[in-house]
Amino acid sequence: MLLALGLAGAALADTAELTGAEILSKALDLRKGVNDFSARFAIHLDIESLDIPDSSGTVYFKRPDKLRVVGERGLVILPKDAIMPTRIAKAIQDGADVTLMGKRDTPAAVIYGLKIVPKQDDENVRLLAWINGRNWTMQKMEVWRGTRRAMSIDWEHTLVQKRFWLPKSVTCTLGQRARPGRRRMKGTASVTFTDYRVNSGLDDALFSTPEERR
């Protein structure tokens, strides 16, 4: 596991000032002031054996978990975890165990490695997360089911309105190991976000279904 985290040789004594749960809380609290936002997005899919054109559109988000994606071109596949760390937030809400695996210092960042194990799970799921201790942004997340790495997500962030760290680009790597008896869909989905508008007061009606708007 230490090898998977890329933190071999990190001394746990160096991170005694913060627990894994405290580090993760700082990362999740980073967007507490973001009540809603909209952003333009562009998606490039590179999936094995599939020829899928690039797509684009606008994404809308409102707390606690309202999400609407309006596609303008191509097939839009936009994982919710790419926008907000909802999978980790739910695991913490349900009482997940968080373990600090180590710390790596680099000239550009201090990276903490965490293991998050949900309390109630039948598939032996665990999440690995890498968090930048300089600004508490999440750099990477991996989703494991047993010995299978199902998905990984890499983020780059941008500072919006000089206050909010939000995703600038996201790369999701899919299907690194398939479930037994299932065909592996291998490839990447790369998303870039631009033209953020934060706390503009998005109306709840924007997130209603077509049936609700009738």
Residue 51, domain member (yes or no): yes
Please, which pLDDT band fits residue 150 given cuts at 50, 70 and 90? confident
Please, which pLDDT band fits residue 129 given cuts at 50, 70 and 90? very high
Residue 209, domain member (yes or no): no
- Paired with 40 in beta bridges are 58, 194
Residue 214 scores a pLDDT above 60:
no
Number of domains in the chain: 1
CATH no. for residue 79?
A: 2.50.20.10
- Paired with 156 in beta bridges are 169
Residue 120, domain member (yes or no): yes
CA distance 119 to 67: 26
Residue 101, domain member (yes or no): yes
- Paired with 78 in beta bridges are none
More confident call, 166 vs 146: 166
Count helices and strands in the chain by DSSP H and E runs: 5, 10
Contact 24, 93 (CB under 8 A): no
- pLDDT tens per residue across span 113-127: 999 998 876 668 889
CA distance 4 to 27: 21
Q: Cα 84 vs. chain centroid, distance in angstroms?
A: 6
36-44 mean pLDDT = 95
Residue 166, domain member (yes or no): yes
Residue 85, domain member (yes or no): yes
190-205 mean pLDDT = 96
Residue 179 has a pLDDT of: 52
Residue 6, domain member (yes or no): no
Angle CA(9)–CA(156)–CA(159) in degrees, nearest 5?
120
Segments forming the whole domain that contains residue 52:
35-178+185-193
Residue 198, domain member (yes or no): no
